[in-house]
Structure 1
Amino acid sequence: MSTDRSIVLFDLFGVIARHQRPGALEMMAARCQAPTEAFTTAYWACRPPYDAGRQSAPEYWTAVLRRLSPSMSVDADTIEELRLTDIDSWSRVDDRMVAYTQSLRDVAEVALLSNIPSDHADAFLAAQPWLHNLDHVAFSGKIKAAKPSPTAFHHCVVAMRAAPADFLFVDDREENVRAARATGMNGHVFTDRDELAAVIDAWLPTRRPTWK
C-alpha cells in the first residue's frame, strides 16, 4: 500500500556526512596507551548498545577500556576526552550532498535515519542547522533502535504517517538497504551523488498519478 507520497530517506555517514576522520582511532588508541588494532576492535565491538541508546557515553567508554584491560584505570577526564575526540571524528559533512538534499525538498519530502549515539546526535544537530529543515530526523540513539533492525525503519513510517512504499531509502551499506526493502521500502545503495540523482529522477515520476 502507498499513499502516493515521495519520501527520500537518507543515511547520514557515508552519504551526506563523511566517514570517521582518518587517524582518529589511532589518536584515541594512543590516549589509552593501547595498540591501534586492539583499540579498534574494542571500539566497534562495544558500539551497538551505545548506537541504539541503551548505553550512555560513560558506560560505553568504560566498556571499551575494560575490554582493552580489565585492570585499566577509568577516570572521568579520560572518558570525556575520548568522547569529545570521537564526536569530532564524525563531524565532517559533504557540502555538495548537503546542498543536494536541500534541493530535493522542492520535489519530495526528505528525511534522515542514522546510526549515531544520542550525545553525538546532539552535537550534530547543534553544528548542522540544515538538519532542522528536513521533514523528519531519526537518530538511533534517540529512537532506541539502530539499522538494520526493522524497528528503526518502522519508526520512520509511523512518525511520518506514511506507508513503507512511499520511501526511497539511501544508504552506503548494502545490508541496511536490504533491511529497508524487507520492510516494504524502496532502496538504493549509495556510491556517488550523480548516480543517486539519476535514480531519484527516475523514481520520482513513478510517484505521480497520471491524469487523463
Structure 2
Amino acid sequence: MRASPSVEDNSPIPYDRSSPWWVVFDYGEVLSLQTDVRPAMAELLHVPVPDFCDAWASERYAYDRGASDTEYWWAVGARLGVPVDEELAARLTAIDISGWIETRPEALALLAELAEARIPLALLSNAPYSHARVFRRQPWAASFRHLLFSGELGMAKPQPEVWDCLTEQLGARASDLLFLDDRQENVDSARAAGLRAEHWTTTDRARDRLVDFGLCPYRPEASPPEDASPADVQATRQHSG
C-alpha cells in the first residue's frame, strides 16, 4: 500500500491506480473566466460602482454559505440604502450568475484529458445555492463524479470542516486528494488538513504539476493564451497538429 504523504511534503509521488488519486478543482477563476458584471448591477440599483462593490463583497460570506438570493440582496440593499424586493433580487441574481458562466477553453481541455484518462474528478466551489443549480447544468459538469458547492453544504473554503465533508463525500483519504485553487488561503487550509494542494495560476502551470504527479497524460506542444478566443484556440490546435 502506498504510504500517505506528510502535510509538509508536497512533492510528486508515483500515481498508483490501485488507490486512485482524486483531482479536485475549484471553479471560479480556475475553470471559469470571471466577467465583471458589478457595474451592471450597480446601475440597476442606481448606486456608485465602488459603493456597490463594497456591499456586494461584504455580504458574500453568508451568501456563499447558504443564504437565499432574497436574503443576500436585501442585505446588500440595506448597506446601500436601497430597498430590494424579490423581483429585483431575481434580476440581480441572474446578472451575478452570468458573470461566472464563461469558461477557460484550455482549462476545460485539461479537464477533458483527465476525464478521458479515467482520473477521478471532483469540484469544490464556494458558490451560492442558486449559482450551484445553474453550474450543475453546464456541459463541463458531466466530467465530474462529485460536485460540491458551499451554498448547498452550509460551509465554505477555507473552513477546516469543508475538507472533512469533501473526504466523506468522496470516500477517500485526505492524502489521496490533489486540490487545485486560485486562492492561496484555500490551498493552505487544504494542506493543513492533509490534502495535496496546488495554487492555480495558469492552466499550463497546473498541467505541468499534474504531469509531475503522473496524473496528466501529456504536455501539449503548444497552448493558446488563457484569454484566447475560441477561434484562436482552434488555430493553435491546427498549428500544433
Amino acid at match of 1:101: L
Greater share of residues in helix: 1
The correspondence for 1:153, drawn from 150, 156, 163, is: 163
Matched, 1:169 2:187: no
Task: After TM superposition, give the deviation of residue 107 of structure 1 in Å.
Answer: 4.8
Counterpart residue number, 1:111 = 122
Matched, 1:36 2:57: no
Counterpart residue number, 1:63 = 75
Q: List, as ranges, runs of 4+ consecutive aligned residues in structure 1 with deviation greater than 4 Å.
A: none
Alignment TM-score, normalising by the size of structure 2: 0.79
Residue 119 of structure 1 aligns to a residue in which SS? helix
Take 2:214 and 2:72, find their aligned partners in 1: how far apart are those partners? Answer: 41
Structure 1 gap ranges (5+): 206-212
Residue-by-residue CA offset, 1:121-179 (whole Å, 9 max, x unaligned): 111112x1331331211111111111001122221101111000001110011110000
Counterpart residue number, 1:124 = 135
Alignment TM-score, normalising by the size of structure 1: 0.89
Amino acid at match of 1:41: D
Take 2:165 and 2:86, find their aligned partners in 1: how far apart are those partners? Answer: 34
Amino acid at match of 2:24: L
Task: After TM superposition, give the deviation of residue 76 of structure 1 in Å.
Answer: 2.4
Counterpart residue number, 2:19 = 4
Task: After TM superposition, give the deviation of residue 119 of structure 1 in Å.
Answer: 0.4
- Shifted more, 135-144 versus 1-10: the winner is 1-10
Q: Percent identity?
A: 33
What's the RMSD between the two structures over aligned residues? 1.5
Q: Tell me the number of residue pairs that the alignment of Structure 1 and Structure 2 aligns.
A: 199
Take 1:189 and 1:42, find their aligned partners in 2: how far apart are those partners? Answer: 28
Counterpart residue number, 2:32 = 17
Residue 204 of structure 1 aligns to a residue in which SS? coil
Counterpart residue number, 1:47 = 60
Residue 28 of structure 2 aligns to a residue in which SS? coil
Residue 100 of structure 1 aligns to a residue in which SS? helix
Take 1:86 and 1:168, find their aligned partners in 2: how far apart are those partners? Answer: 29
Residue-by-residue CA offset, 1:91-115 (whole Å, 9 max, x unaligned): 1111221121121121521111000
Counterpart residue number, 1:77 = 87
Take 1:9 and 1:74, find their aligned partners in 2: how far apart are those partners? Answer: 37
